[in-house]
Amino acid sequence: MGNWRQKLWQERVEPRLFLLTQLRMATDALALGTAGLNLVVGALAGGFVVASSVVVGRVPAAMSAGIGSPPWRSLVTAFLVASGILFAQQILTPLSAALGQLVKHRVDGLFHDRLLEASLRSASVAPQEDEESLANLRLAAEGLEKGSRTPGDAAAGTLALVTRYSRLCAFVVIIGVAISWWAAAAIGLVTMTLRVGHRDVVRTYTRLVPVMSPLRRESDYFLGLGVGPVAAKELRVFGLTSWITERYRSSALAAIRPLWRERRRVNVTAFLWRAAFSLAVVCLVVALMLRAGATGALTLTELTIGIQATIAAVLLGEFYHEADTGTQFGLIAVRALERFRGQVADPEVPGGGGPAAEAAPSFTEIRFSNVSFSYAGSDRLVLDGLDLTLRAGECTALVGLNGSGKTTLVKLLARLYEPTKGAILIDGRDIATLPVDAWRRQVGIVFQDFIRYELSLSDNIAFGAIERRSDPGQLAEMASRAGLADIVAALPRGLDTVLSPHYDGGVELSGGQWQRLAIARALLAVDAGAQILVLDEPTAALDVRAEAAFFDEFAERTRGRTTLLISHRFSSVRHADRIVVLSGGRVIEDGTHESLLARDGRYAELYHLQASLFADSSETEVPR
Ligand SMILES: Nc1ncnc2c1ncn2[C@@H]1O[C@H](COP(=O)(O)OP(=O)(O)OP(=O)(O)O)[C@@H](O)[C@H]1O
């Protein structure tokens, strides 16, 4: 297919076909009913032009024959018919708008489902971190978040076009029948010339959306920082309030500038020739009609019909506010979602389609065999031929400098990404061959950047094994194991308390309390059958006493579990059965705390460095 044809197909035809299927699925009868009603509303406009022209045509005879005469009565009849049509238009137009709104909401509801399904369908998190697919996802969601220019608007707008175009058809046919088909064709051409011009302006603006969106994201970000609670403290403490205001102003201006430039271009040049052409044709047609009227070739009724229909038709050569913004901008989201769906087809996640019910086997070891990995869009190998064996029932600690790849290793273990090279094997079987959901149920993780869900405390714990949500006893037990018993007891609604001050009766927890909650979540996963527990910096926000208590409890509770512990705190790390040091994407040291100290390598260097820092400080905390 030629380039322009492909573009035409992708930009105009495909999204419309998709919309039509959505209309059918969501609103079969409703869409058909609305389209039928809109057809009637359009036809009524033509009927009114004819009826009101007949009224004008009958006035001279009625006036000369006088009140009560047959011409007078036929004038009254024509007037009543015209009034009836006007009345019907007044009733049906708002009804059509209301049905259009119903269609909009139904299609948007469907699109919401489709958007969520597309966003969550990928087993890997790569699409959510890939800038190109993320941009499509944002474009698809943008309109829905604001509630305007949505796919529903595109659907309702498409139906609204039925009114406008049926009105135009009615006027053209009326001119053809009453005056001449040449005049009808000329007026139809003028209307469509003006109309296409207006619609193309909107289309030009829609092409700017992908350009403006990233620019607007920056200004939206500064606005969010300025008005939201997240940065409120720092902006004030660091004296950044005027700087933020200025950055918001300049980024907002930068975002709107492409639109201003384009608006000047299309408004000044493109309209001039269209306006001149249209004016010339309309003047010619009206002049010919008046001449025919003057010579008696047209009756007064025909002349009135011709002039009324011409003016009404030409007025349709405009921007359709109820249809054009919706159809043009709403289709952007439809196209963006289709592109995103293509990008998350995700054939590269092996085992992803397998039956989730197939349980992952129990195992004696997990082996990272020659595993290499680099993130999409980067050539840098974060893991570079890594070999590591985690033995079942053992607690292995992973240490290394910032950026050495510890969290990345965990993400591969959870199959959020697949290795670029090599494999992760459980007792020799590649985990990529297991159904991804079944495998993930084997892994309970506290991520370093765990999520603080603005939901109830019990939901925050239950997310570790959602099927246990209805077991408050077990959720309370997990809270207690993670050291939250006192907190729960003090909360107004106990486990049901919503953890956000933005809700009535909601509360905010401290950083350390949130961390305990994330730990409770992972403990629930383990209780529900996960064989591997991963803790990425689990005690970073805990005070020294809480950390010590956590590890005493932790050692007790996780005995016999396969545990992977990532921490920069050597006081935590030394509790592990085995310590592995990561550097340059590989394991460079492996042993117990004592053996690694005796070896006097990287681990010993980092340990002594941290110990000396604590010894130098006035704090009494030292690595134990
Ligand atoms: N989603 C991502 N996309 C691209 N690069 C990433 C992504 N996540 C991490 N990286 C890069 O991968 C490297 C390893 O990151 P990782 O988070 O695994 O390190 P880490 O050892 O856990 O660090 P830290 O001790 O600071 O938590 C870093 O250079 C980081 O910039």
Token duo for residue 562 = 């396969």
Residue 26 has pLDDT above 90, yes or no: no
Q: What b/e sequence results for 482-521 when a residue is b if at least 16 CB atoms lie within 10 Å of its CB, and e otherwise?
A: bbbeebbeebeebbebbbeeeeeebbebeebbbbbbbbbb
Confidence of residue 345 (pLDDT cuts 50, 70, 90): low
Q: Are strands 443-446 and 532-536 parallel, antiparallel or unpaired?
A: parallel
Over the Cα atoms of the chain, what is R_g?
35
Residue with tokens 């979602």: 337
Confidence of residue 326 (pLDDT cuts 50, 70, 90): confident
- Asked if 140 and 337 touch (Cβ cutoff 8 Å), the reply is yes
Residue 283 has pLDDT above 70, yes or no: yes
Residue 445 has pLDDT above 80, yes or no: yes
Residue-wise DSSP of 234-298: HHHHTT-HHHHHHHHHHHHHHHHHHHHHHHHHIIIIIHHHHHHHHHHHHHHHHHHHHHHHHTTSS
Ligand 1 contacts CB of residue 127 (under 6 A): no
Q: Ligand 1, atom 17: nearest CA belongs to which residue?
A: 407
Atom index in ligand 1 nearest the CA of residue 408 equals 18
Residue-wise DSSP of 459-522: HHHHTTSGGGTT-HHHHHHHHHHTT-HHHHHHSTTGGG-BS-TTSTT-----HHHHHHHHHHHH
> Which range has the worst mean pLDDT, 47-51, 436-440, 505-509, 567-571?
567-571
470: left (phi over 0), alpha (psi -120 to 50) or beta: alpha
Question: CA-to-CA distance for 551 and 520, rounded, in angstroms?
Answer: 14
Mutation test of ligand 1: which of 399, 404, 535, 570 has the most ligand atoms closer than 8 Å to its C-beta? 404
Residue 621 has pLDDT above 50, yes or no: no
Beta-carbon contacts of residue 212 (< 8 Å; ≥ 6 apart): 255, 256, 258, 259
Ligand 1 contacts CB of residue 403 (under 6 A): yes
* 420 alpha carbon – ligand 1 mean position (Å): 16
Q: Ligand 1, atom 1: nearest CA belongs to which residue?
A: 129
Q: Are strands 532-536 and 562-566 parallel, antiparallel or unpaired?
A: parallel
Q: What is the dihedral of CA 220, 221, 227, 230, to 10 degrees?
A: 150
- Asked if 171 and 309 touch (Cβ cutoff 8 Å), the reply is yes
* 405 alpha carbon – ligand 1 mean position (Å): 6
Residue-wise pLDDT for 371-396, tens only, equals 999 988 788 999 999 999 999 889 99
| Predicted local confidence at residue 623, as pLDDT | 40
Mutation test of ligand 1: which of 408, 566, 568 has the most ligand atoms closer than 8 Å to its C-beta? 408
- Asked if 448 and 419 touch (Cβ cutoff 8 Å), the reply is no
Q: Ligand 1, atom 3: nearest CA belongs to which residue?
A: 375
Atom index in ligand 1 nearest the CA of residue 377 equals 4
Return the closest-CA partner of residue 155 out of 333, 311, 392: 333
Question: CA-to-CA distance for 226 and 245, rounded, in angstroms?
Answer: 8
Ligand 1 contacts CB of residue 296 (under 6 A): no
Q: Ligand 1, atom 6: nearest CA belongs to which residue?
A: 375
- Mean pLDDT in the chain? 86
pTM: 0.72
Question: CA-to-CA distance for 289 and 18, rounded, in angstroms?
Answer: 45
* 46 alpha carbon – ligand 1 mean position (Å): 67
Find the mean pLDDT for residues 487-509. 88
Sheet containing strand 421-426, strands side by side = 383-391, 365-373, 421-426, 429-430
Question: CA-to-CA distance for 91 and 37, rounded, in angstroms?
Answer: 11
Atom index in ligand 1 nearest the CA of residue 448 equals 27
Find the mean pLDDT for residues 452-478. 91
Residue-wise pLDDT for 125-152, tens only, equals 877 777 788 888 888 888 788 778 888 8
| Predicted local confidence at residue 346, as pLDDT | 53
Q: Specify the 3-state DSSP secondary structure of 620.
A: coil
Atom index in ligand 1 nearest the CA of residue 129 equals 1
